[in-house]
Homo-oligomer: A and B are copies of this chain.
Amino acid sequence: MRVAILGGTGAFGRALAQRLAGGDDEVVIGSRDAERAQAAAAELGVEGATNADAIRGADLAVLAVKADAALATAEEIADALGETPLLSVASALQFSKEGVHPDPEARSLAERVAQRVRAPVAAGLHTLAAANLGAAPPEEDALVCADDPRAKELALELAAKLVAGRAVDAGPLASARALEGLTAVIVNVNRRYKAHAGIRLTGLH
């Protein structure tokens, strides 16, 4: 699979590229700035390009920009993306002194991204911390959701390469509301228990 990691110079994008580098997949880090992308890519032994160039020929694009840039970036890349499936991984969080709150919007960020592109959109990987991804695959599951079967299949295929646990089909894209909210739960848990928490599902055979 050829995977374009858009906004791949950030912490999660780099960790994702690092986890995939040296495996069977072709990885290209995208950024607004081609030089930044190439610098980050060179460190990890993968390719680097502008976001639009990174998308060309990719089987799956991962929207790995920060939450506050996700909608604008989706608009910017919509034409380059065409029908290439897009995986949304960001969660809009609100920080307060009582703890981290989930996004107060009724619709998930992934659903709002989907309104801005023609491509089929999946959402997932929200419970994977960059810090847990870098080295060996973590003993966690990775949850993915989508309405489009092909976007879901590619996202599950990618997810399965990232974790020692399962890539789990969490249902329709509307489940992104829950998966994005889980990031808030995990950040709260990390603060409370001084941990790098992840998720496993029990009861699957």
- A interface residue numbers (CB < 8 A to B): 96, 98-102, 104-106, 132, 138-140, 143, 145, 147, 168-172, 174-175, 177-182, 184-189, 192-193, 195-205
Name the B residues within 8 Å of A105 (CB-CB): 106
- Closest residue of chain B to A132 (Cβ to Cβ) is B203
Q: Known interface pairs A178-B182, A181-B181. Does A101 touch B172 (Cβ–Cβ under 8 Å)?
A: yes
Given pairs A96-B172, A139-B202, A199-B199, 12 additional interface contacts (CB within 8 A) = A98-B172, A99-B172, A132-B203, A143-B185, A168-B189, A171-B184, A171-B187, A179-B181, A195-B203, A197-B204, A199-B202, A200-B201
Would you give the shortest CB distance from A147 to chain B, in whole angstroms?
Answer: 6
**Chain B residue with Cβ nearest A174:** B101
Main secondary structure of the interface of A (DSSP, over half): mixed
Copies of this chain, count? 2
B residues in contact with A171, CB < 8 Å: 99-100, 184-185, 187-189, 192
Q: Which residues of B contact A193 (CB under 8 A)?
A: 168-169, 204-205
Select the residue from A98, A147, A199, A203 with max chain B CB neighbours within 10 A.
Answer: A203
Contact with A204, one of B140, B145, B195 (Cβ below 8 angstroms): B195
Is the pair B202, A138 in contact by a Cβ cutoff of 8 Å?
A: yes
